Every structure is written in structure tokens, then in C-alpha cells.
């Protein structure tokens, strides 16, 4: 790790640490934040985790998740914690707009800030930027961070469970963004006590009935295929949200079903939220949905998984998406082999 000596020095005396992660926190956001929190608490720091919005209830089993502060629910408590902080970590994001209104408070804070993230194009708002766009997940980077500073022995069973969760969710259960290194680290996590079958069940096999009904509706009624540009699209309106009682996290994973089709290289889930329309894009092989999100939808992420948003109506957004897609379509791409 670059700056290891300086970061070690920062951590050598007790600090009031705040760990941030991005809005709509996923398994990697939550896993990396909790893993780092357990590690820092174990070396005598006082730690608070703050998310802009709530995390999906499927993650409530994760150790320490009950103590996370959510800005949407308790803004004053969050602001007080930020003011008190003398060390800030930003995990699994690297542009301040991903933490909404808190971005401004964080920018104003003069204490040292450390980004640990695997997204493309990090913004230079922190004193230390630990960025690895080839990492499977921020959780994998937290594994390296702890190992580098204190050795793998510091990864307790509790920390290992949090790290495992982020790796599983960000690799689609080891389907993409994998490497020999990540499998070695997962072997270490199992040796640290992770029960992988139990955790896979906790993460994936506790859905509510309404999720599968929503998925069925999306695939049967709402799926649109644009064969000429090898693109699949599902859009959900506010009425759909009411009809299926869709809560935060309920649409997670739906976009990936489109990529299962042989004739789809670009997949989109476009959802009407209270104030914005959100896009969730995926691609196969050498098509960069990060460029699409960055150039047209004020977003970003990874080459094959990105998101963005539009202030506008659902139909305007769908129309815009359909207009920009042909520019990114690659007719002769043999994606499956990549």
C-alpha cells in the first residue's frame, strides 16, 4: 500500500472515525464498512458508520449492522458525528455526489480523509486515495488493507463474514470480476471461520414472495428487447412500485436476468423514483456501460455495471436511453469468450 507509513501513523493513536458509504448501500458497501469498523474498533478507535439511505433488510444479520446511522432517518445525529470526526473513510464510492447532501459536510471537514474504492474515475477529494479498479470489491481491498497494516491474523471470523458478503455480492457469487487472488483470499476467509454455505443462504435464499412475483412480472410483461442493438430493457413506473409494494433493494438483481439472453449485450433497468428516474446498466465483454452512464446519465461505476439518474419522466428517460444506445452497440463483439 502506498502511504502505508502515514496511514499507520494516523491509526497509531485513538481516533473518532466516521466511515461513509454510498446511497442505496449494497452488500459491498455494508460489508466493507462493517469489516473496517470491526477492525478499527479492535485497535481502540471509536467508529461510526453513516449511509445516506437505508440498506436492504436482507443484510440485517450482518454483525454491527444495527448500529449504522442513516442520514435520511437521523440527519442531526449524522451531522454531529461528522463534526466530531478526526478521521474519515469513504468506502465503495469515490465521487461526493454518491453521499448526497453529506458530500458538502465531508468536503468542509479538515480532518484526514481516506478513500478505499474500486470504481472508475475517483474524484480527488481525499488526502489518501486507495483505488484499485481491478479489485472484485471494496471488501477485497479491505482484506488487503487490514493484511497490509496488521497481517491476516487480524481478520476475525466476524470481519471475514463481512468481507465474504461483499465479495459474493459484487462478483455475482463468483461469476465476474474474479481473479486467482480473490479465490485465495476467499480461502483465507473460510480458514478464518466463514461458513460459506450458511452465508450464501442468508444472502440469497431469504426472499419474500413478492420479489419473485415482481421478477415474473418484469420478465413476462415488461421486458423489451431491441435486437438490432442487442439491448434488453425493463422499466418500472411509480404505479408498479405501489402494485408490488416495492421497497429498497427489491429490484436488486433483476437487470442481470436480461444478460442471460444470448442476443443481449447491454441490459437496463429503469425505475421511477420519488424525485429521479434511476438507471441500472449492465453489459457483457467490451462494452462500457460506465461510459454510457458518465456521458448521458450523470453516473458511473464499473465497465460492466454502472448506474445513473435523470431528473425527468420515466418515458423521457426510456426514450433517451433508446436514442443513445446505438452509439455504444458493437455488432461483431464475441462477448461470451471475453
Binding site for ligand 5GP (CB under 6 A): 22, 95, 98, 119, 280, 299-302, 305-309
How far is residue 301's CA from residue 87's CA, in Å, rounded to a whole number? 25
Nearest distance from residue 113's CB to ligand 5GP, in Å? 18
CA distance 231 to 322: 9
Q: Kindly tell me which of 305 and 314 has the beta carbon lying closer to ligand 5GP.
A: 305
Distance (Å, rounded) from C-alpha 24 to C-alpha 106?
18
Minimum CB separation of residue 72 from ligand 5GP in Å reads: 16
Rounded to the nearest whole angstrom, what is the least distance from the CB of residue 2 to ligand 5GP in the complex? 23
Going edge to edge, which strands form the sheet with 46-51? 69-70, 46-51, 16-21, 87-91, 113-117, 128-131
Place of cell 454502472: 306
Say if residue 281 is exposed, middle or buried (CB neighbours under 10 Å; 0-12, 13-18, 19+). buried
Residue with Cβ nearer Mn ion (24 or 271): 24
> Residue 7 or residue 93: which is nearer to ligand 5GP going by CB?
93
Q: Whole-angstrom Cα distance, residue 16 to residue 8?
A: 15
Give the nearest distance from C-beta 95 to ligand 5GP in angstroms: 5
Q: Exposed (0-12), middle (13-18) or buried (19+): which is 251, by Cβ within 10 Å?
A: buried
Contacts of 208 (CB under 8 A, 6+ apart): none
Interacting residue ranges for Mn ion, rule: CB under 5 A: 28, 92, 137-138, 170
- Quick one: what does residue 300 bind among Mn ion, ligand 5GP, none, with the CB cut-off 5 to 8 Å set by partner type? ligand 5GP
Considering CB distances under 5 to 8 angstroms, the limit depending on partner class, which of Mn ion, ligand 5GP, none binds residue 117? Answer: none
Q: How far is the CB of 306 from Mn ion (least distance, A)?
A: 12
Taking the least distance from each CB to Mn ion, the nearer of 170 and 250 is 170
Closest approach, Cβ 222 to Mn ion, in A, equals 27
Q: In terms of CB distance, is 15 or 22 closer to ligand 5GP?
A: 22
Q: Which listed option, Mn ion, ligand 5GP, none, makes contact with residue 307 (CB within 5 to 8 Å by class)?
A: ligand 5GP
| Cell of residue 271, nine digits | 425505475
All 3 cell numbers of residue 321?
A: 436511453
Nearer to ligand 5GP, 48 or 302 (CB): 302
Amino acid at each position: 500500500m502506498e502511504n502505508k507509513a502515514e496511514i499507520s501513523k494516523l491509526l497509531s493513536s485513538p481516533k473518532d472515525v466516521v466511515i461513509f458509504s454510498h446511497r442505496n448501500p449494497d452488500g459491498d458497501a455494508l460489508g466493507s464498512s462493517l469489516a473496517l469498523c470491526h477492525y478499527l474498533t479492535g485497535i481502540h478507535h471509536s467508529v461510526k458508520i453513516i449511509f445516506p439511505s437505508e440498506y436492504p433488510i436482507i443484510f440485517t444479520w450482518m454483525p454491527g449492522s444495527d448500529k449504522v446511522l442513516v442520514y435520511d432517518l437521523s440527519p442531526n445525529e449524522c451531522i454531529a458525528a461528522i463534526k466530531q470526526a478526526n478521521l474519515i473513510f469513504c468506502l465503495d464510492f469515490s465521487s461526493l455526489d454518491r453521499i448526497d447532501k453529506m458530500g458538502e459536510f465531508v468536503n468542509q471537514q479538515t480532518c484526514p480523509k481516506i478513500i478505499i474504492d474500486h470504481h472508475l474515475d475517483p474524484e480527488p477529494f481525499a488526502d489518501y486515495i486507495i483505488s484499485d479498479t481491478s479489485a472484485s470489491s471494496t471488501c477485497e481491498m479491505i482484506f488487503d488493507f487490514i493484511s497490509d497494516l496488521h497481517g491476516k491474523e487480524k481478520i476475525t471470523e466476524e470481519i471475514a463474514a463481512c468481507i465474504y458478503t461483499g465479495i459474493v455480492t459484487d462478483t455475482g457469487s463468483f461469476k465476474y470480476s474474479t481473479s486467482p487472488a480473490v479465490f485465495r483470499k476467499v480461502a483465507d476467509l473460510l480458514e478464518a471461520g466463514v461458513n460459506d454455505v450458511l452465508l450464501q443462504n442468508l444472502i440469497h435464499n431469504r426472499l419474500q414472495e413478492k420479489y419473485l412475483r415482481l421478477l415474473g412480472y418484469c420478465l413476462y410483461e415488461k421486458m423489451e428487447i431491441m435486437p438490432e442493438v442487442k439491448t434488453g430493457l425493463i422499466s418500472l413506473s411509480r404505479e408498479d412500485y405501489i402494485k408490488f409494494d416495492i421497497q429498497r433493494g427489491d429490484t436488486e438483481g433483476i437487470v442481470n436476468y436480461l444478460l442471460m439472453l444470448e442476443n443481449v449485450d447491454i441490459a437496463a433497468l429503469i425505475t421511477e423514483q420519488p424525485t429521479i428516474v434511476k438507471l441500472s446498466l449492465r453489459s457483457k465483454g467490451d462494452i462500457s456501460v460506465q461510459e454510457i452512464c458518465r456521458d448521458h446519465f450523470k453516473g458511473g461505476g464499473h465497465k460492466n455495471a454502472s448506474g445513473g439518474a435523470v431528473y425527468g419522466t420515466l418515458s423521457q428517460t426510456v426514450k433517451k436511453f433508446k436514442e443513445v444506445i446505438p452509439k455504444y452497440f458493437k455488432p461483431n463483439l464475441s462477448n461470451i469468450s471475453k
